[in-house]
Structure 1
């Protein structure tokens, strides 16, 4: 065997474990995300059917988990899983693992992946904050909301602060609408390595999930935008409280219930991605 062929074989052998590590991070990460959204959807459904008091976003779902039996163990596993997802999103955004390309559309997708990495990084940090405050989930949730309002107050104190806060609300609105547009336009089967028949059956799960996730952000966006227009940092709220406000509207319980089922569908599809998503780990930056 020639020196060139030996070198090529050695290079492939060296790269393969790295690829497997990245794939493992991605699959664990999708599973962790699925667990968060399934929990949030389940708790919101219980709220919509008056089985419990309040709806739940991702942060509230983590607080609920902290209060369960073996909650500390679950928090550690969930936190590590979310950091794994952050790592995978970073690979997607920085190294174009999904081969989106460098045109305007590809760059936009990768910016979205970077934003997702930031969001899930904050969520993972929240998990470990709950871990530090184990046994005080309600206090931690109140502290988290107070921190959001404090940041809103700091933003309002800046020049044109009202409009900066409005812009933040519009960014949340754009995120919601973007998810709803994806629900209609995207072909989710392209990213799955399963049989065509199975992929067709799983596609409605993804569409339902993305539509509900997008819809869930709309009331939150409204609160942030109004907080900016009225210069009232106290109007900034959490996703769970925004969904609670939705329930108080005419037909709100039905809308909240449908949203809850959709969030559960989003979580279920994340588990589908953990099993069947095509993970294209790059061999080198590019």
Structure 2
């Protein structure tokens, strides 16, 4: 058996593993875990809007909130493992392409690789927190953002790096919102398997939730650009301070109420993906 046939067999086995039931289960579990985190962040943001205080409304706050519940540590282990499943599914998309006619495009595979790294990091932070390292998953996103910004601003050309990064995050937020409004998510879902009421619910949560999520990303990117222009790391904000900033608008806390409900809706939309996503 020559080297080429051995490599072909190895590639075939890897592709079959990527398309296996285990990877599908991992992906669906990952969507479920993502949904739980977004619902919790939305609820925490709603508490901030209605009471003016509250716990930090970001992934760290959600993780800390879960850990305080009965069997909280067990739930964190379940969430962390589910997010590992999401990371592995995204990795399989990067290596072998995703479902759909354009799933093998280089841009799609590159985005899948980036998402794999992101969900791998989130999974690590959740599992580390579950294992007892409270400084990993439960830390403040605001402090983390400011620390990273301060470090980057100290590099040669740091202002440009932070500014370009902020523009990238803001652009990603606009892209997320526009795709949600245009209902681009529908091509990734098994819409034909949904009843009329389920389709309506999925469209409502997909558009509303995706738009709210995009606005949060775009706003956070704007703060990063401001930090670069002013050369002030404290101008950079994580999710918690970004959400709190909506209360400083003329709409007051009511804009944050809308955004918070949108994040809850995105969490519910993630749960719909756990059921109907084409994997």
2:239 paired with 1:239: yes
The answer on whether the counterparts of 2:125 and 2:136 sit within 8 Å (CA) in structure 1 is no
**Secondary structure in structure 2 of the residue aligned to 1:237:** coil
Aligned pair in 2 of structure 1 residues 187, 223: CA closer, same or farther (>3 Å)? Answer: closer
The answer for the alignment partner of 1:62 in structure 2 is 63
The answer for the alignment partner of 2:210 in structure 1 is 210
The answer for the alignment partner of 1:126 in structure 2 is 125
The answer for the alignment partner of 1:141 in structure 2 is 139
The answer on whether the counterparts of 1:48 and 1:55 sit within 8 Å (CA) in structure 2 is no
1:133 deviates by: 4.2
The answer on whether the counterparts of 2:57 and 2:240 sit within 8 Å (CA) in structure 1 is yes
The answer for the alignment partner of 1:31 in structure 2 is 32
The answer for the alignment partner of 2:159 in structure 1 is 162
1:111 deviates by: 2.9
Structure 2, unaligned runs of 5 or more = 1-11
Q: Distance in 1 between matches of 2:235 and 2:55?
A: 18
TM-score, length-normalised on structure 1?
A: 0.82
Aligned pair in 2 of structure 1 residues 138, 119: CA closer, same or farther (>3 Å)? Answer: closer
1:34 deviates by: 0.7
The answer for the alignment partner of 1:3 in structure 2 is none
Structure 1, unaligned runs of 5 or more = 1-10, 280-286
1:207 deviates by: 1.0
The answer on whether the counterparts of 2:26 and 2:86 sit within 8 Å (CA) in structure 1 is yes
1:152 deviates by: 1.9
Q: Distance in 1 between matches of 2:62 and 2:131?
A: 17
1:200 deviates by: 4.4
The answer on whether the counterparts of 1:54 and 1:244 sit within 8 Å (CA) in structure 2 is no
1:50-101 CA-partner distances (Å, limit 9, x unpaired): 1752551223222222233322112111111111111111122221122353
Aligned pair in 2 of structure 1 residues 125, 236: CA closer, same or farther (>3 Å)? Answer: farther
2:77 paired with 1:79: no
Q: Distance in 2 between matches of 1:19 and 1:102?
A: 17
The answer on whether the counterparts of 1:55 and 1:243 sit within 8 Å (CA) in structure 2 is no
Q: Distance in 2 between matches of 1:181 and 1:139?
A: 30
The answer for the alignment partner of 1:179 in structure 2 is 176
1:201 deviates by: 4.2
The answer on whether the counterparts of 2:44 and 2:54 sit within 8 Å (CA) in structure 1 is no
Q: Distance in 2 between matches of 1:130 and 1:17?
A: 29
The answer on whether the counterparts of 1:59 and 1:123 sit within 8 Å (CA) in structure 2 is no
Q: Distance in 1 between matches of 2:120 and 2:184?
A: 27
Q: Distance in 1 between matches of 2:262 and 2:49?
A: 13
Q: Distance in 2 between matches of 1:138 and 1:207?
A: 32
